[in-house]
Amino acid sequence: MTDTWKPPYPAFSAKVDPTVEQMVMAYLGVQSKDEASNGKACAAFQTIRESLKLPDGPARHDLVQFVDALGCLNLIVVAYWKAPETYAKWNTSSEIAGWWASDDRLNDGVGYFREIFSPRMEQFETIFTHDYGPFEGVSVLFGNMSEPIFEHGYWGSMRDRLPISQNDTIEPSGSLTVVQGQPAAGGRVIISGHQNLTLIRSGEDWRRTEGEERRTWYEEIEPVLHQGMDFLRDDGLEVGCYSNRYCHHIDENGNPEERGFGVSFWNSLAALEHWGESHPTHLQIFVTFMRNVKKFKELTLYHEVSVFDASNQYFEYINCHPKTGLLRAV
């Protein structure tokens, strides 16, 4: 984009703490097989939540739920650490390592999954429609927003916001590999990722909306967003999307909140860009938003995008159905 570019609306990025060099993002989930096992799933989810309070636990976490394509309830903790060393201390403690490795997880009657990523800061970017709180996701760790940025509002701006893109084309290499287990058979399955696998968490907070703005969200924006999320969930492999979850926040008591996000894993940044700029399901979302953008005063939209080194990814699925997360991609 030229130096004279003027974005159509203001946007902001989280100001990263200069002392942070690398983060850890962890999606820790429990999967209920049917309504009869929802109680077991909730109890297991509570155990995971309590484990966050142990020494060296995450600096920030969210509680969300997602109903997948097979109708299974998935309860997920999204946790963030500011340093891999702190996460490693927590993860290798006897309480955490022993609990996940126990054969009891194979016999609990529910599914479990761990999806762990550790981006270096040059592999990470955020964008927000507002520069005030409440912030979302990893931005809560930093607490401050930038001045209005110029790198947004055009195709390719996501790549421009990634510092690594200044000297790296961020092409994928290698492939997803099953390290342990058989995805179709269930049990414990461990998958290794590949170079420059890409994650996007793209969210919305409509708690403060009222009147026409609230009506527009529920009647015009959310329906087309939901269609796009369902497409990626069911048919995303054809466009390079390994997995997509349309998650909604819950509070400490399990009550739904008026905010949510889609989180998806992609073969590459290029595949995510291509879907965004050319696929009808995303263009419908984009066009609908741009048509209504001037109505939005309180609706907060944001995303965080990361690319990862192959060595900084870990995927483990225990007793999950074969369409869970990256299982469906292998």
Beta strands per DSSP E along the chain: 24-31, 60-67, 73-81, 111-117, 124-128, 177-182, 186-192, 197-205, 241-250, 256-266, 300-308, 313-318
Joined tokens for residue 317:
């699925």
Question: Phi and psi (nearest 5°) for 80?
Answer: -130, 135
Please state the separation of Cα 224 from the chain's center in Å.
Answer: 19
Q: Give the HSE-up count for residue 66: Cα atoms under 13 Å, Cβ half-sphere.
A: 29
Residue whose pair of structure tokens reads 């989810």 in the numeric block: 45
The answer to whether residue 303 is catalytic is yes
Residue type, 189: V
**Closest among 21, 218, 186, 177 to 108, alpha carbons compared:** 186
CA separation for the pair 99, 93 (Å, rounded): 10
Question: Strand pairing of 24-31 and 111-117?
Answer: antiparallel
CB-based contacts of 133: which residues, under 8 Å, 6+ apart? none
- Read off the DSSP letter of residue 109: S
In Å, what is the CA distance from 298 to each residue of 131, 203, 205? 12, 14, 9
Taking each helix axis from N to C end, the angle separating 94-101 and 84-91, rounded to the nearest 10 degrees, works out to: 60
Q: Of these residues, 130, 282, 303, 321, which one is catalytic?
A: 303
CB-based contacts of 35: which residues, under 8 Å, 6+ apart? none
Joined tokens for residue 232:
């990626």
Collapsing DSSP states into helix, strand and coil, what is residue 253?
coil
CB-based contacts of 50: which residues, under 8 Å, 6+ apart? none
CA separation for the pair 119, 98 (Å, rounded): 26
Active site residues: 303
